[in-house]
Structure formats: C-alpha cells, structure tokens
Chain A
Amino acid sequence: MTDGVVRYATPKLGGYVVLTALGLLASLIFARPELAAVSAPFVVLLAIGLAVSRRPDVRVYVEVDRDRLLEGDEVLLEIELDARDSAPRLELLVEVPHELELLSGANPIALRLGLGEERRLELRFRCTHWGAPRLGDLHLRAGDAAGLLVWEQTLERGSVLRVYPRPEELRQLVGPRETQLFTGNRVSRAKGEGLEFADLREFAPGDRIRRINWRASARRGELWVNEFHAERNADVILFLDSFVDARRADRGTLDEAVRAAATLTERYLLEKDRVGLVNFGGVLNWLRPGTGLVQRYRIVEALLNTEITLSYAWKEIDVLPRGTLPPKALVLALTPLLDDRAIGALLDLRARGFDLVIVEVSPLPYAETPPGELGELAFRLWKLRREGRRFQYERAGAPVVEWREGESLTSVLEGVNASRRHARARA
C-alpha cells in the first residue's frame, strides 16, 4: 500500500476518546477518582495504539488465468500478497462485475499478514453473462493492531475479460433468396460449376465430354449434356435493434438477440457466407460483410460492446455507409419491435428490395399487465398494435417470427423457413 492511500480514524477511536473524556470529566466534577481509574484502560490503549500505529506496506499482485471465455466458463483470479511490513488486519475486497459469479474463495476477506509473509488467495468465478467485464480491481483496507486507524486504497489492477455468448446448437439456417458470385456452400439457382443436377440441354461446342449424359443422348439420338447448379456463397447482414431493451432482472431481449447474433454469425461463416453486422440503436455501429475467423471475432467483439444508449435522434437506414448493405443480401433482423426508428428502418430495407427476415425477440415475457381494467385494456391494445405491425411486414413480403423466452433458436429459424416456403407456394 503506497500510492493513493487514504488514512482515517475508525469509529472506535472516536468512541474511546469520548469515553475517556467523559470518564475524566465525571471524575473531576463528582470528585470520584475511581472514575479516572475506569477510564485508564481506554487512555492507555489510545496512547499506545496511536504511538505504534504505522502504515502497513503490502505489495499486491493480481493475475487472471485467461481473458477470453465463453458464457458458463470459469475463470481463476489469483491475488498474491507480499507483506513488507506486518498488517494486523487487512481487509480485501475484489470488485465483481455483474457478468461474473463467485464460485469459490472468500470475498471480502479479512486476514493478518506477518512481517515478510506471503499469501496467495484464489477466487474462482463463473461467467454468467456475455460482455466485457473488468476483473481484478481491489479495495484494500488495513487497520492497526489497536483498530484505531485504517488505511484504504483502491488498486486498479483489473484486466478486461472477453466473455463471448455461448453459441446455440443450430440444425438449419435461413437460406438466402439470392446468392452472390463467390464460391460457397449454397446451391445457387443459376447454372454453372457445381455438384447439384439442374437440367439437360443439347451439346454445344466447348462442352466437356464428361458432362455428356450418355443415357439421354442414346434415347434422343443426339448429344445432350448435364447442367448443374453453381455453388455460391451469400451475403448475410445481421441487423441488431439496440434502441430499446425489455428487461427483467438479469435477462432481457437484447441479451437474447446478441446470443442469437453470435450463434448465427458462427454458423453462416462456417457455410462460407459473408456476414456483416448492423447495430442499429442509440449508437450506430456496423461491420461490412466478410468471411473467416477474423470476421467472426470482429463481429463478436462488436456484439460484446453492444449496449442500450438512450437517444431521441431519428435515424434512418440512409445513415449507413455504402457497402454495408450489399445488393441481394439476406438481412436477418433481431428486434423486439419496440422502437419506431428500427421498425421504420426495416420497412425501408424491404422497400429497397432486400431479402428481409425478422426474428421478433418477444418482449411479452418481460412485460406485466398494468393493474386495473384500463391497464388491461391498454395492454391488449398494445399487443394488437404489435400484431398489426407484424401484418404490415408480412404484407411487404418480410416474414416475422416471434421468438419467445425459452424457445430454441432452431425452432424459430424453422418457423422462418416454413413461412418462406409457404409464401413461395402462395406466389
């Protein structure tokens, strides 16, 4: 404990001074010397305690065993205390961010360190929530032997952890209507080099011999060749609505949306698609589409910094720079459909011809019916209005699937695919 140390008197010091003063005063006023004798232990303790008290010299080293984790992982914080001078009572408190939960070890703890003693404390935490929590900031409070004076110090030795959302198991993804030009794992509607059979056509000069369909050629008396669907990739834009968050305790719509976005990012990138991110909220944030592991980390890092920032500024989709939303991209929106700016932006995207799919992270589990008849009526009207919005999107050709708390993302995406198949069949 060296820099930024604050020394102050404990309530005990004040109390003993008052008791001593009262005892001696009463002794004088009532001429009772035995009252002075009663005060004597307090006087002696104050005198000796203050005379021998000195600032403890304790060196503190903090170490976190790793800084990149997944939700549910455990992290070990090691604190090493090296007493250059004895500390009769040392209180130690580690600041625990809300994303972490203490599993083992005592926090706070009060201990004694003898001269030259070294102690190693281990605190094990579980990451309960994604984010970028800072772990390792300490508050130290050392008292003297008599408990009359204390020295306090805050040590900012913390390191920022990266707690990534744990990806959910996904059995299928929402396929884009249009593919891009680059090679990928998606079967394109266009014909070209690929494995998936598309059609037969007459042989033309330049066709490869291996493409000839001998059975069809024998039946028709002339050469026919197989045609295949090209295998292409797609551009997927994850549109995260971070204007508003419906929340209760440690769960909220934004948490679910971020977890889903991380899962979708991982899966689409595995399919060799290009994935981009638009974080549409009080603070606008975007990442141009890209592929590979680096893009995955870029997106997840951007997601970790997602937070609700209150803003009254009206934002439209025009504020996004060119290239963020490539033509024919599949826009997968994760939104609680609570803010008019996000709702308007999504309609605007659809109007511009983007393949839009809306996953509505339902705020209903976090909303309570207001008391009274009027409250109930207002709640019903609010739900009706939401229904109306959904209908508006569907009329514009953008399927909306409600994602309720506890439901798996796979079933939600299956719902989206079913809705798209149904729409195609109807068309």
Chain B
Amino acid sequence: MAVALYGTFAADRLAWLVLALGLTGAALLTYALASVNAGSIVSGLVGVAASWSLSAWTRGTGAPGGTVLAAVGIFVAAELAYWSLEQKSVPDEGELVARRAAGLALRGCGALVLVACVLAALGLRPGGGLILETVGVAAVVGLLAIVLVLARAVYEAER
C-alpha cells in the first residue's frame, strides 16, 4: 500500500491510474490473505509492481527516486504474505517466529543492498545523494558477506 501511495504522489501524470492499479493490487493481496489463496498473492504483488512501474514511467527515463525502497517493499510484502499463509495452516512456535522475523529483516537488508548494487551495475542513479552512496558501499560489503556465508555453508555441508 505504501509503495502504491508513494507511486501515486511521485507520478508526474496519470496519478489516478497509478492509484487505481496500486489499490487493486493491495485489495487482491488483502483478499489473498483473508481467503488463504496463494494464487491471488501473485496478482496483488503484480498489481502493486505495475502501479509503481507506471509511476516510474511517467517520470521519464532512468531509475526514479525510491526505486530501491519500492523494490525492497514489494519483496518484503511478498515474504510476509507467504509467511502469513503458512501461519494460517500451522502456526509457528514462539522461538521460530523470532528466528523467522530476524531472517526476514536480514533478507530485507540483503534485498536493499542487492537492488542498490544492481542499479549501480546498470549505471542508473536513482537519486538520493549520500544515502544511496552509502547503500552502494554497503551493497558491496553485503555481497562479500553473502559470498562468505555461502562458502561456509557449503563447506559445512560437505564436512
């Protein structure tokens, strides 16, 4: 919903269409969660992503401001939606909830770094000045950390 509203306010034109798409996506997502319908989650996320894409298109070429946050928002929304569906069938015990919440936060940070890296690699400057520069540096550090973690996991599995 936040992504849809941000897209609406940031859009140079067709704001009503951006809002309609975003609201439809959010409504579909709500319906999916209420009716435990995994198929509708994809439709809802596609609606929200389309709303943001339309908003970005109205702002001309190049990555508009907030691209990183929008991408992370959509990713975290997807993760939360599927987690909620799992909870409807079998609820997690307390310890698992805490672990998964920490894992989700980590994934969110990872997504932030990754998108920033991808945008930097594509030569797109989404704007944002110092903050995004910092994110860029963090992205490189994060990528290295991921490589290290994966290497360690593979080593332990082989052992």
- Residues of A that sit less than 8 Å from B by CB: 10-12, 14-16, 18-19, 22-23, 26, 30, 32-38, 40-42, 44-45, 48, 52, 54, 89, 91, 93, 106, 108-112, 141, 145, 147
Contacts and interface: CB of A to CB of B under 8 A. Distances in A.
B119 interface: yes
B93 A19 contact: no
A52 B53 contact: no
Given A40-B118, A52-B150, A91 B46 contact: no
Contact of A26 (B53, B64, B107, B115): B53
Nearest to A34: B63
Nearest to A11: B38
A16 B115 CA distance: 16
B90 A37 contact: no
Contacts of A110: 86, 90-93, 96
B18 interface: no
Interface in B97-118: 99-100, 103, 107, 110-111, 114-115, 118
B42 interface: yes
18 contacts: A11-B38, A11-B39, A12-B82, A15-B38, A19-B45, A19-B49, A33-B63, A33-B122, A34-B56, A34-B64, A37-B124, A41-B111, A42-B78, A44-B114, A52-B157, A91-B90, A106-B93, A112-B96
Nearest to B37: A11
Contact of A33 (B93, B100, B124, B146): B124
A109 B90 contact: yes
A15 B46 CA distance: 10
Interface of B: 38-39, 41-42, 45-46, 49, 52-53, 56-57, 63-64, 67, 70-72, 74-75, 78, 82-83, 85-86, 89-93, 95-96, 99-100, 103, 107, 110-111, 114-115, 118-119, 122, 124, 126, 146, 150, 153-154, 157
Given A34-B67, A37-B119, A89 B92 contact: yes
Contacts of B100: 89
Nearest to A26: B53
B117 to A, nearest CB: 8
Nearest to B46: A22
Most buried by B among A10, A18, A34, A45: A34
A277 to B, nearest CB: 44
Nearest 10 CB-CB pairings of A with B? A11-B38, A41-B111, A34-B63, A38-B71, A41-B75, A37-B118, A12-B82, A15-B42, A108-B90, A110-B90
A111 B133 CA distance: 40
Given A11-B82, A23-B49, A40-B118, A34 B57 contact: no
Contact of A93 (B38, B42, B72, B90): B90
Contacts of B52: 38
B42 A19 contact: yes
B92 A19 contact: no
Given A15-B41, A40-B118, A35 B53 contact: yes
Interface of A is mostly: helix
Contacts of B46: 18-19, 22
A37 B115 contact: yes
Nearest to B71: A38
B92 A16 contact: no
A11 B75 CA distance: 15
A147 B115 contact: no
Contacts of A33: 63, 122, 124
Contacts of A106: 93
Contacts of B83: 147
A15 B42 CA distance: 6
B150 A48 contact: yes
A44 B72 CA distance: 13
B118 A36 contact: yes
B78 A19 contact: yes
A54 B154 CA distance: 12
Nearest to B68: A37
